[in-house]
């Protein structure tokens, strides 16, 4: 009976941990990232993911001609503040790189043509040797200028 109770407790804990991580990312996004939109409104869905130091991800998005966009890429306090991101068009031409802009988390863009873009996000690796890399939430979202 004790063995069954232990297995049940482990399964319950395993099932709850992923949702707790999602809840933490959602809370971080709502409290820390969404206010950065200011007079922009969120355009579609956002991505809020748990990443380790040194990890990189790629996101695709379609932009529409004549729309002013605000891009926000921000990590929570568990991660280094200097998250890098760059945006390229579908042909690989650089549109923006926050590394050339003091690693700002917010960037505004007036789109002059309808296009698909790639957003590359990189969390720097800063943990000391022989320590486990830190893990935290990174939110990637875009907004459009409210009319």
Residue 80: CA atoms inside 13 Å, Cβ hemisphere, count?
Answer: 16
Residue 14 lies in a domain: no
Measured between alpha carbons, how far is residue 79 from residues 48, 69, 97, 102 in Å? 14, 26, 20, 17
* Mean pLDDT in residue range 130-134: 82
Please count the CA atoms within 13 angstroms of the CA of 44 that sit on its side-chain side. Answer: 13
Residue 6 lies inside a defined structural domain of this protein? no
11, part of any domain: no
**Domain containing 135 — which CATH number?**
2.60.120.380
Look up the domain containing 74 and give its range.
19-145
| Total domains present in the chain | 1
The string of pLDDT tens digits covering residues 35-85 is: 999 999 998 889 999 999 999 999 999 999 999 999 999 999 999 989 999
- Polymer length of the chain: 147
The span from the CA of 32 to the CA of 73, in Å, is 11
pLDDT category of residue 22 using cuts at 50, 70 and 90? low
Q: 12-16, 22-26, 99-103: which has the minimum mean pLDDT?
A: 12-16
Give this prediction's pTM.
0.81
């Amino acid at each position: 009976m004790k063995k069954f109770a232990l297995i049940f407790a482990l399964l319950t804990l395993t099932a709850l941990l992923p949702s707790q991580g999602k809840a933490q990312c959602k809370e971080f996004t709502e409290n820390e990232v969404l206010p950065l939109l200011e007079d922009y409104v969120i355009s579609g869905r956002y991505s809020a993911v748990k990443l380790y130091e040194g990890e990189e991800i790629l996101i695709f998005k379609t932009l529409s001609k004549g729309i002013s966009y605000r891009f926000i890429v921000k990590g929570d306090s568990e991660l280094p503040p200097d998250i890098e991101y760059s945006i390229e068009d579908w042909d690989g031409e650089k549109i923006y790189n926050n590394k050339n802009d003091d690693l700002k988390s917010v960037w505004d863009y007036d789109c002059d043509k309808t296009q698909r873009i790639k957003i590359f996000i990189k969390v720097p690796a800063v943990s000391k040797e022989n320590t486990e890399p830190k893990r935290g939430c990174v939110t990637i979202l875009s907004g459009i200028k409210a009319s």
